[in-house]
Structure 1
Amino acid sequence: MAYRTVLVGTDGSASSFRAVSAAASLAAATGATLVLACAYLPMRESERAAAADRLGELAYKVSGSTPADDALRAAREHAVAAGAGDVVLATGQGEAVDVLISLAGRHRADLIVVGNRGLNSLAGRLLGSVPSGVSHRASCDVLIVHTTDGKG
């Protein structure tokens, strides 16, 4: 099966950029359009500061669309370096799984690529695993790329 549209989720983390590179290589090999997708959650400044204190290095996940746009620009660099030619950027407001599923439908993706981050981590068990949620809800193929050692 040749994929026509590959959607990959990124949150700006190093592990998500590994998924972007894998998806970009696959898109390049099949001549598919690559959709780089990022979710964001709007939040009042007081809530953002409190969440940032609790989440530490994961705090980038709780800000508005600017960090999402920044993450997509950085992801585009990784995608182009991996050979992707036709790259589309897409953001959506909401939880990551909901946004990825929605954007996959909107862009008629026939493959969603996500990294394995969160599958075996404490954060994944507490906050919900994006790879698990996407694999259960997607109406197209899902590729979970091994981007972490599963311990973080």
Structure 2
Amino acid sequence: MNEKYETIVVGTDGSKSSLLAVTRAAKIAAAFDAKLIIGCAYYESEEEASKTLRQDSVTILGDSTAQKNLASASEAAREAGATNVETAVRPGTPVEALMAIVNSNDADLLVVGNRGINSLTGRLLGSVPADVARQSDCDVMIVHTVS
């Protein structure tokens, strides 16, 4: 077990709350001199997006919106002190995308915001933070981004 985080993944959907999680992850990455990978999920079509029962995350249609979100998140991460910043875009639900990014990069920490975790829908259907915490093989930090 490594005592130092070397690869940290954080998810963003472009929302203000997700940028708080990005900033926290960037500060941790700076402290550990770790690589920070900012991930964003997107749906390839309206049909794919409508299949999801979740309303706790922003629905991102298409790769170009995801890329815009990643550009502003990268800027925020660098402002917070992260120097080694990469981005990753994956189609699918936020949980599927984050798990794919974590696994393909052998990340040792996943940082997510807490949006949806305390909502009724989140308790009934699951939320992005709760689901990634259950599925992840690496440490998961849930940042308090929404009251």
Cα distance between partner residues in 1 of 2:83 and 2:116: 29
Matched with 1:2 is: 4
Matched with 2:118 is: 120
Q: CA deviation at 1:12?
A: 0.4
Q: CA deviation at 1:132?
A: 0.4
Matched with 1:67 is: 65
- 1:43·1:62 contact (CA, 8 Å) conserved in 2? no
Task: Supply the AA of the counterpart residue of 1:34.
Answer: L
- 2:41·2:60 contact (CA, 8 Å) conserved in 1? no
Runs of 4+ in 1 over 6 A off after TM superposition: none
Farther-moved stretch of structure 1 (12-21 vs 101-110): 101-110
Residue deviations 1:58-83, cap 9 Å, x none? 6x514111111111001001100100
Cα distance between partner residues in 2 of 1:121 and 1:104: 25
Give 1:76's match in structure 2, choosing from 74, 81, 96: 74
Q: Return 5+ residue gaps in structure 2 as ranges.
A: none
Cα distance between partner residues in 2 of 1:98 and 1:15: 20
Q: CA deviation at 1:40?
A: 0.5
Residue deviations 1:70-118, cap 9 Å, x none? 1100100110010000000000001111110111011110000000011
Task: Please say if 1:17 is aligned against 2:15.
Answer: no
Indicate how the Cα distance of structure 1 residues 86 and 62 shifts in structure 2: closer, same or farther if over 3 A, else same: closer
Instruction: Tell me the matched-pair count.
Output: 142
- What pairs up with 1:1-152 in 2 under 5 angstroms? 1-44=3-46, 60-125=58-123, 128-149=126-147
Q: CA deviation at 1:128?
A: 3.5
- 1:40·1:62 contact (CA, 8 Å) conserved in 2? yes
TM-score between both structures, scaled by the size of structure 2: 0.88
SS in 2 for 1:11: coil
Q: Of Structure 1 and Structure 2, which has the larger fraction of its residues in helix?
A: 1
Cα distance between partner residues in 2 of 1:91 and 1:101: 12
Q: CA RMSD in A?
A: 2.3
TM-score between both structures, scaled by the size of structure 1: 0.85
- 1:8·1:23 contact (CA, 8 Å) conserved in 2? yes
SS in 2 for 1:36: strand
Cα distance between partner residues in 2 of 1:78 and 1:139: 27
